[in-house]
Amino acid sequence: MDFMMKISCSNLMLPGNYLTEQANLLYKWGYDGIALFMNYCQWNEELHEEVLNLRENTGIIPCEFAFTDEIYGHLMSDNIDLRKKSREMYKRAAEISGEIGAVTELEFAYGTQNPLPLFHPYKKMTETEKQDFLEMYKEVTAPLMGTTGKMLLEGINRYESPYLNSIKECTDIIDTLDRENTGVLADFFHMSIEESNITESIKYAGDAIKHVHLGDNNRLLPSYGAIDWQAGFNALKEVGYNGFLNLECSTCGKPSKTLPETAIFLKKMLN
């Protein structure tokens, strides 16, 4: 069994008008996978078929799938109609993730926090909020039952989400949920804000981590900021992680130059 971590890149970072074209570029540049963030309003059967055949046609694995839309991040909205529409979108993403064996993700809520939590971070959910969140999580993961796809809980920093900001908190929720097709998505950018020690938090989450997002502390490419990447990757190796490391950040210039360079940088540390 291959225990080597694999590298991927988000389609939104790539040039090209078609997913197949973008995946072919990633294959040329030394990547193993692609994360697909698709406009929900523009989704159609032609795109669906392209996604289903992407690996066979390009050699690149579609490792992550999510829809983008103004209703994204409203799973727990007080607006019942908005909440329903948002959950239906997440469930559709789950269906497609199940078809291709990819991960998709959720969070308690997503959006700029107002007021900003400058001096009072780490808000805790009430017991009612926690139970409502767990019920929602079960609801949106239902389409994944019987598949290898996963709906992962991502720790989003305090400026973008009111709760579940750290992967430690996310891990505790996953343990409480105790449900297949779930897990933790560890995002290095968000961890650089919320974790007091990234490596220790990775070890705490352990095998709950099913997918990883890469972005330096300034949300630039890895090595363009202050994160100790070797320490982070060593911690992932220590807990036995062998999934994808997906770039979700700025390309820091011309992708045809910076993305191949980043692939080399990442693979040197993974060997």
Q: Residue 214 carries which side chain, given as an amino acid letter?
A: L
Residue 115 is predicted with a pLDDT of 87
Residue 103 is assigned to a structural domain of this protein = yes
Q: Residue 266 carries which side chain, given as an amino acid letter?
A: L
Residue stretches of the chain with pLDDT short of 50: 1-2
Q: What is the pLDDT of residues 37-54, one digit of tens each?
A: 999 999 999 999 999 999
Residue 3 is predicted with a pLDDT of 57
Q: What is the pLDDT of residues 98-155, one digit of tens each?
A: 999 999 999 999 999 998 898 887 889 999 999 999 999 999 999 999 999 999 999 9
> 255: domain CATH number?
3.20.20.150
pTM exceeding 0.85: yes
Residue 22 is assigned to a structural domain of this protein = yes
Continuous H helices in 142-254: 167-177, 188-194, 198-205, 229-238
Residue 122 is predicted with a pLDDT of 80
Residue 1 is assigned to a structural domain of this protein = no
Closest CA to 107 of 194, 207, 32: 194
Residue 1 is predicted with a pLDDT of 34
Count of domains forming the chain: 1
- Kindly state the tokens that stand for 43: 């989704």
Residue 120 is predicted with a pLDDT of 81
Domain that holds residue 107: 6-270
Residue 265 is assigned to a structural domain of this protein = yes
